[in-house]
Every structure is written in C-alpha cells, then in structure tokens.
Amino acid sequence: MEPETALWAAVLNQAVHDAELLLRKVRANQKLWRNHHFRSEVRHLKRFFRSRSDYPGGILFICDVVGMQYGRVIQEVDRRYLRHLIPPWGDEEFSEWRPIKESMNV
C-alpha cells in the first residue's frame, strides 16, 4: 500500500472508530446529550460522513484514494453508528441547543 493511501485509510479508520466510541459513550450515559461538547462532536462526525466533499480530507476524496465505494461506506457507517446517534428529543441534526429543564433551576 502506498504511503498516501495508508494515511487516508488511517483517517477513515479513525473517523469510524470515533463514531463507535461516541455511540458506546452515549449508550452508557444518556446524560451526555446535555453536554455541548459531546453534541458538537456528534454533529461534526455526522457532517464529515454526510458531506460528500471531494476536497482533500473529504469523505469522497478519501474513499476514492483508498479504493472504497462512498455509498457502501456511508451505508455501513450509518447503519452501525450514525442512525443511533440521535438525542432523546429526536432532532437528528440538533443544530439548535435545547435547554434541559433541570439546568434552568437557579
């Protein structure tokens, strides 16, 4: 395997590993959805996989370099991880912060 191909394969592998780790964390502790940093990590990960960017570092670019079909990669990542990373209130994109009633008690 060429060094460049190995590098991009490692990037893709790390992104998949990150998805797996985030899912394990939130399954163990649903309260993580209250954490802005956690929600931000999930949002960025989903945007990376769903971006369809063919610029260097984008998922289409990486799939092309490593010789994988984008559709198959996304289908598998979505099936295993992304579709399960949805907050309890059901807003898949959760772009807006939703206050937790407990945190509003001053």
pTM over 0.75: yes
Q: How many CA atoms lie within 13 A of 71 on its CB side?
A: 0
Which pLDDT belongs to residue 52? 85
Per-residue pLDDT of the chain (106 residues), as tens digits, is: 799 999 999 999 999 999 999 999 999 999 999 999 999 999 999 999 999 888 999 999 999 999 999 999 999 999 999 999 998 887 656 544 443 444 444 3
CA distance 17 to 34: 22
Which pLDDT belongs to residue 13? 97
- The distance between the two most distant Cα atoms of the chain, rounded to a whole number of Å, is 58
What residues does each domain of the chain span?
3-91
